[in-house]
Amino acid sequence: MRRIVLIPLLLMLASCSSRQSLFVVLPNPDGSSGAVTIEDGQKSVLLDHPYAAGEVRGGVAAPVKVDQAQVQQIFGNALAAQPILPAHFVLYFEKDSDTLTPDSQRQYQAVFADIKRRSVYEVEVIGHTDTLGTVPHNQELSMSRAVMIRERLEHDGISAKSISVAGRGQLDLAVLTADQVAEPRNRRVEITVR
């Protein structure tokens, strides 16, 4: 019987100095950015502003210059495939009611528009109250506010299956107050759209 021995061949890259990794800090929607540090074991490079970039080439980390057009050229397909980030909205209510304030009536349109721009969505609506009234009354009122928003979204064509509601009463105050204090910023629903 013949024995065949296979010897693996290692293929070397034509150039050891070819780029192994490229890191680019992208701006947030408001223009700010986070930061990242890349290290090669001996040296580190801090990337701490929009479009700051660094690479690892031949095992060595170094800063590089890139502009927005280059980022789009290199990462355009990946950027286009990103899901839409979650959005958070706060709508406010009149005292002891489930009636939106006039400003929040207008803000509701932004919530609706954000949901409609997504092909798939989940909407979480959480109602809150100030500390006026009893705890049971406030729990009921917070749920009533959340349900009112859900019903309005449903009326405007948003799938009921994609909307969850909860009432938190006066448990999660936006502005800490004593009991029996009318605080308009606590009379709210918080809406998260994913």
Q: What is the dihedral of CA 106, 98, 91, 158, to 10 degrees?
A: -70
Check residue 29 and report its DSSP letter: T
Paired strand residues for 87: 193
Contact 47, 54 (CB under 8 A): yes
Q: Span 150-176, mean pLDDT?
A: 97
Task: Write out pLDDT tens, residues 67-87.
Answer: 999 999 999 999 888 888 999
Give the position of tokens 């509701």. 108
Q: Other CB atoms closer than 10 Å to residue 177's CB: what's the count? A: 16
Question: Does the pLDDT of residue 173 top 80, yes or no?
Answer: yes
Indicate the domain borders of the chain.
19-80, 87-193
The domain 87-193 is placed in CATH, from the list 3.30.1330.60, 3.30.230.70, 3.40.50.10490, 3.90.1150.10, at 3.30.1330.60
Longest dimension (CA), the chain: 94
What dihedral angle (degrees, nearest 10) is formed by the CA atoms of 174, 177, 179, 185?
A: -40
Q: Determine which helix (DSSP H) or strand (DSSP E) holds 174, and give its type and residue range.
A: none
In the chain, alpha helices (H): 68-80, 102-116, 135-155
Predicted TM-score (pTM) of the model is 0.69
Q: 18-57, pLDDT tens digit by residue?
A: 778 999 999 988 899 999 999 998 999 999 999 999 999 9
